[in-house]
Amino acid sequence: MGPRHSLLEQIGADIVRFQEATAEFDAAVGEVLALGRAELVCLAQLHFGGPTPLSAVARGTDVARLELAGYVRRESAGSGTRLVLTGHAREWIETLWGPFRTDGFQLMSSLPDADLKVIAGFLTSARAVQDRHASRVAKLLQAPGGSRAARRRGGLSAAALHRVQLFIEAHLARTIRVEELAQRSGLSVFYFTRAFRQSTGMTPHAFVQQRRVERARELLLRTSRSLGDIALEVGFSSQSHFTTVFRRLTGLTPAVLRRGGG
């Protein structure tokens, strides 16, 4: 393996790591704003492109959710309606993306013009390659028995299941809607529910209940907190509801477990 081949492999690996870091950053921003990927794309579209006709908003965007959060508003535009960013959204965009943009600009500004031209040319060519292969993969979705059909017959991908599980662990203390879980898998609620059951052997609701009971079991054995506090900590609406579900899944009440009965 020559030096050039090694360098190309290193660049390829660095590009993948950059993409992963970008995805993680976007995911963190989505958590802060309580938005999914489609909604983040919509905010970027409005931020860089200005007011946008409702018909041209990114596919799959939950416009009502953006309005409810105070990030966009509708306004009449001729015979149609367009979306406009609110001041609230612009403040968040500046807070979350502003420092990133500033650091990136400073990094690029340190390079000579010749290097910047090479980078610009490479990115243009790379984008063309990306578009070509995105089109190739999209065509598979239109073919009989393509990847979408195969995915629907099976379970979630490992990455999608991991995203869903992480979200559940981070939000056990509050109500978790199946729509939120489906959004993180990239599937509709109907297909997500079926795929999740295929992957885990249980419904999303049953899985969440099981994780709540497992978390409660840890707290019962490791802490002296009251049963009521633990019930709220793991997302049950009351101590009685907590006791009912805990006994159904473990065969013991929380009090009996704490006394050493299990």
- Give 216-240 as a DSSP string: HHHHHHH----HHHHHHHTT-SSHH
Average pLDDT over residues 9-25: 83
Q: Most confidently modeled of 20-24, 119-123, 151-155?
A: 119-123
Whether the predicted pLDDT of 143 surpasses 80 = no
Number of H helices, E strands in the chain: 13, 3
Looking at per-residue confidence, does 141 or 200 come out higher?
Answer: 200
What is the mean predicted confidence (pLDDT) over 225-238? Answer: 93
| Mean pLDDT for all residues in the chain | 86
Answer yes or no: is pLDDT of 152 > 50.
no
Token pair listed for 141: 């979705």
Closest CA to 69 of 26, 95, 30, 97: 30
Q: What pLDDT shows up at residue 146? A: 36
Q: What's the CA gap between 58 and 157, in Å, rounded?
A: 24
- Residues 204 and 196: their CA atoms lie apart, in Å, by 7
Q: Is the pLDDT of residue 4 over 90?
A: no
Q: Measuring CA to CA, how many Å separate 104 from each of 97, 109, 134?
A: 11, 9, 26
3-state secondary structure 19-63: HHHHHHHHHHHHHHHCCCHHHHHHHHHHHHHCCEEHHHCCCCCCH
pLDDT level of residue 183 (50, 70, 90 thresholds): very high
The structure's pTM equals: 0.50
- Tell me yes or no: is domain 3-110 CATH 1.10.10.10: yes
Assign domain 207-261 to a CATH class.
mainly alpha
Q: Is 50 left (phi over 0), alpha (psi -120 to 50) or beta?
A: left
Residues 6+ apart with CB under 8 A from 41: 58, 61
- Percent of the chain having pLDDT more than 90? 51
Lookup: tokens for 101: 């943009």
Q: What is the mean pLDDT of residues 186-208?
A: 91
pLDDT score at 112:
93
- Residue 256 pLDDT class (50, 70, 90 cuts): very high
Tens-place pLDDT, residues 59-89:
778 888 899 889 999 998 877 899 999 999 9
What are the beta bridge partners of residue 169?
none
Q: What is the pLDDT of residue 100?
A: 87
Compute the residue count for the chain.
262
pLDDT surpasses 50 at 43: yes
| Two structure tokens written together for 196 | 């999740």
Q: Which residue has the higher pLDDT, 133 or 164?
A: 164
The token duo for 198 is 């295929």
Query: Among 114, 116, 92, which Cα is nearest to 104's?
Result: 116
Judged against a pLDDT cut of 60, whether residue 151 lies above it is answered with no
- DSSP characters for 67-103? HHTTSEEEEEETTEEEEEE-HHHHHHHHHHHHHHHHH
Return the closest-CA partner of residue 179 out of 40, 58, 36. Answer: 36
For 229, the token pair is: 């506090």
- The residue with tokens 């028995």 is 145
Phi–psi pair at 202, nearest 5 degrees: -150, 165
Q: Which pLDDT belongs to residue 30?
A: 85
Burial bucket for residue 146 (CB in 10 Å: 0-12, 13-18, 19+): middle
